[in-house]
Amino acid sequence: MELAERFLLDALAYLECALGVVCFVLLKLRGSPYGRYASPGSGFGLPARAAWAVQELPSLALPLLACAGAGAPAERLNRWPNCILLAMFLVHYAQRIAIILFIHTWACELCGLVTVTPSNVVSCLGSALWLTGMLVNIHSDHVLRNLRKPGETGYKIPRGGLFEYISAANYFGEVVEWCGYALASWSIQGWAFAVFTFCVLFTRAQQHHNPWGHKELDTTE
């Protein structure tokens, strides 16, 4: 990787960390005005699937487009650690898109491929943590999808799995997943992604945990 490119990617990573802190502060002050917390003044609305696709699809499509072209991205894929890290990134977003298209009935990050190979131990630990977080996220999404029977409306408090211990097990799983990815990649870009994810999802999870956030929920078993 050329020095100028590395400098640019590092600068973008630090910028993402800074934006994560800004988002954290703003979301703590204003909350996350979407979903159950949306109000008439929150902004224009989109159908759930369309909104989810706008959020998730670029993170799957842009890395694929970058790798499909010639040049540095293709050259970096000659290193197997880069292939594994890219696969981990794409698997996450492919799973999210699959939920949109085939499972959910409700509901860009720059991918800088690293060229520094982490130690085998750290890489394996990070990969295991990523897989653990992803499985938690998938199971938690399954619980959320099956909260309501056909024809039911309103919100219910999820039960089962890690929902017995924390209010937003799906967000917890995603944070763990990206922390594992950051550990496996051992790069500032990976850690910036994890920090930004934490800053955004932690505030949303707190909003769920707050009893006032559940004021519209059906708390019956």
Contact 190, 111 (CB under 8 A): no
**Whether residues 121 and 177 fall in one domain:** yes
Taking alpha carbons only, the member of 163, 168, 167, 190 closest to residue 179 is 190
Per-residue pLDDT tens digits for 38-54: 666 666 666 767 777 77
**Whether residues 85 and 122 fall in one domain:** no
What integer pLDDT is reported at residue 42 of this predicted model? 62
Whether 218 maps to a domain, the answer reads no
**Whether residues 83 and 166 fall in one domain:** no
Contact 196, 19 (CB under 8 A): yes
Whether 25 maps to a domain, the answer reads no
Number of domains in the chain: 2
Whether 216 maps to a domain, the answer reads no
**Whether residues 106 and 168 fall in one domain:** no
Quickly state the pLDDT bin for 118 (edges 50, 70, 90): very low
**Whether residues 93 and 125 fall in one domain:** no
Contact 108, 75 (CB under 8 A): no
**Whether residues 93 and 166 fall in one domain:** no
What integer pLDDT is reported at residue 194 of this predicted model? 92
What integer pLDDT is reported at residue 203 of this predicted model? 86
Whether 41 maps to a domain, the answer reads no
Quickly state the pLDDT bin for 197 (edges 50, 70, 90): very high
Tell me, yes or no, if the pTM score tops 0.75. no
**Whether residues 148 and 63 fall in one domain:** no
Whether 37 maps to a domain, the answer reads no
**Whether residues 123 and 194 fall in one domain:** yes
**Whether residues 139 and 171 fall in one domain:** yes
Which domain range does residue 108 map to? 50-67+75-113
Kindly calculate the radius of gyration of the chain based on its CA atoms and give it in whole angstroms. Answer: 19
Pick the last residue of a domain from 98, 113, 128: 113
Whether 93 maps to a domain, the answer reads yes
The percent of residues in the chain predicted with pLDDT above 70, rounded, is 71
- C-alpha separations of 208 from 10, 35, 168 in Å: 34, 11, 7
- C-alpha separations of 213 from 41, 76, 216 in Å: 18, 46, 8
What integer pLDDT is reported at residue 107 of this predicted model? 33
Query: What value does the mean pLDDT of the chain take?
Result: 76
Least confident of 29-43, 55-69, 88-102, 125-139: 29-43
Q: Quick check: 220 pLDDT over 70?
A: no
Q: Which helix (H) or strand (E) holds 83?
A: helix 80-98
Q: Quick check: 115 pLDDT over 60?
A: no
Whether 20 maps to a domain, the answer reads no
**Whether residues 101 and 180 fall in one domain:** no
**Whether residues 129 and 173 fall in one domain:** yes
For residues 17-23, average pLDDT: 89
Whether 1 maps to a domain, the answer reads no
Per-residue pLDDT tens digits for 137-180: 999 988 888 877 777 666 777 888 888 888 889 999 999 999 99
Higher-confidence residue of 173 and 124: namely 173
